Amino acid sequence: MSKILITGGAGLIGSKVTEILFKNGHNITILDPFIRYLPTEKIRFPDYLERRFTEVEIEKLSFIRGDTSNAGLVQRTIDELQPDYILHLAGMPLANQSNIYIEEAIQGIVGGTVNLLQSVISCKNLKNFVYVSSSMVYGDFDAIPCPEDHPKRPKDVYGGSKYSGEIMTRVFAQRFNIPCTIVRPSAVYGPYDINRRVIQIFIENAIEQKPITLDGGGDLQFDFTYVEDIANGLASALLHKNAIGEDFNITYGKGYSLKEVADELLNYFPKLNVIINDDRDMNRPLRGALDIQKAKEILDYNPKFNLKEGINMYVQSYEHPNMK
């Protein structure tokens, strides 16, 4: 049974990866600050943690409450646990919040990553360190689908911080012989998200009979990735011996427009008021599908949930009377 440390393991993605790895017999320790990045009154699921861990025997997981920006705590955790694998998900998860709370974002994403990397230098049994980056590191996509070797031109603090974390991961890996893998997800969505990502906002507005607004004329595209798909991909990237030293796009692999999201929601909320806004935030990168061929070939990654299937499961998780 491998010892696996997951930073940010209580989050949307981390909890789903924990479920997958736990069911495969691994010994999981979660390091998480258990903080919310949005005001409590905006969160529909006050018991989100319990809902996220319903598929595991939670008493068999080890939880450490703490932040990776606390270098002493990170070092003690690594020294005591001596993990076989580390999946690093911790850090501010929201691009728009990172541009407001800049210092917190940089300390959490870059500082927390460096603290972990410093700590694992003395880790005797480490087989892989997976740094979870973001498709935001690419900036505006020059090619669609966007490959891993696309130029890195982040346009905001979040993308810049994630790319800085990638650079430090590579530097430490080379200098101190740390086995590592870099993964870039995109537009993750799924049940019990509390961070107000776009599909969550759209569904909850629909439930509350509020309008939704499609920026960019509804034509802006994102590689929306259902949480179970990214979680399976991360588990593979963590454990697969051929992942060492590689970087992977792990997404659904198809661009969907905001209008396509709205059209799917109209199947559940036929009275949904959809507002088209031709303006868009020019500071946000123009994106679309990512190229996932490398992950398919090396990791046997096979995403299962297209937008229709993912939204169906997401909407059903709310069990609300205003649904069709």
Collapsed DSSP state (helix, strand, coil) of residue 19: helix
Whether 57 is in a domain gets the answer yes
pLDDT score of 37 more than 60: no
Is the confidence at residue 288, as pLDDT, over 80?
yes
Residue 33 backbone class (left: φ over 0; alpha: ψ -120 to 50; beta: rest): alpha
CA gyration radius for the chain?
19
CB 8 within 8 Å of CB 90: yes
Query: In this structure, what token pair is assigned to residue 110?
Result: 């870059």
Question: Cα torsion for 40, 42, 45, 47, to the nearest 10°?
Answer: 0
* pLDDT of 270: 94
Q: Tell me how far apart the alpha carbons of residues 35 and 210 are, in angstroms, rounded to a whole number.
A: 28
On the 0-12 / 13-18 / 19+ scale of CB atoms within 10 A, 91 is buried
Per residue in 234-260, pLDDT tens?
A: 999 999 999 999 999 999 999 999 999
Token output for 161: 């911080």
CATH at 44: 3.40.50.720
Mean per-residue pLDDT over the chain, rounded: 91
Percent residues over pLDDT 70 in the chain: 93
> Do the domain assignments include residue 219?
no
Domain contains 97: yes
pTM of the model: 0.92
| Res. 179: pLDDT tops 70 | yes
Average the pLDDT over each of 43-47, 91-95, 191-195, 204-208 and give the range with the smallest value.
Answer: 43-47
Q: Does residue 111 carry a pLDDT above 60? A: yes
Short-list 115, 123, 128, CA closest to 86: 128
In a domain, 230, yes or no: yes
Q: Judge whether 214 lies within some domain.
A: no
Give the pLDDT confidence score for residue 143 in this predicted structure.
Answer: 94
What was the pLDDT predicted at 196?
80
Contact 35, 49 (CB under 8 A): no
Neighbours of 317 (CB within 10 A): 15
Q: What is the pLDDT of residue 282?
A: 79
What residues make up the domain containing 126? 3-185+225-252+289-304
Query: Residue 47 — pLDDT band, cuts 50, 70, 90?
Result: low
Q: Which residue has the tokens 């998860």?
A: 93
Please report whether residue 162 resides in a domain. Answer: yes
- Residue 39, pLDDT score: 52
Lowest mean pLDDT among 105-109, 219-223, 225-229, 280-284: 280-284
Which residue in the block uniquely carries the two structure tokens 């541009």? 99
Cα-based distances in Å from 32 to 11, 17, 24, 50, 69 = 8, 14, 22, 15, 11
The 8-class DSSP code of residue 147 comes to P
Q: Does 321 have pLDDT greater than 90?
A: no
Q: Is residue 277 part of a domain?
A: no
* Count of domains forming the chain: 1
Per-residue confidence (pLDDT) for residue 197, from 0 to 100? 87
**Residue 148 counted as domain residue:** yes
SS3 (DSSP) at 87 = strand
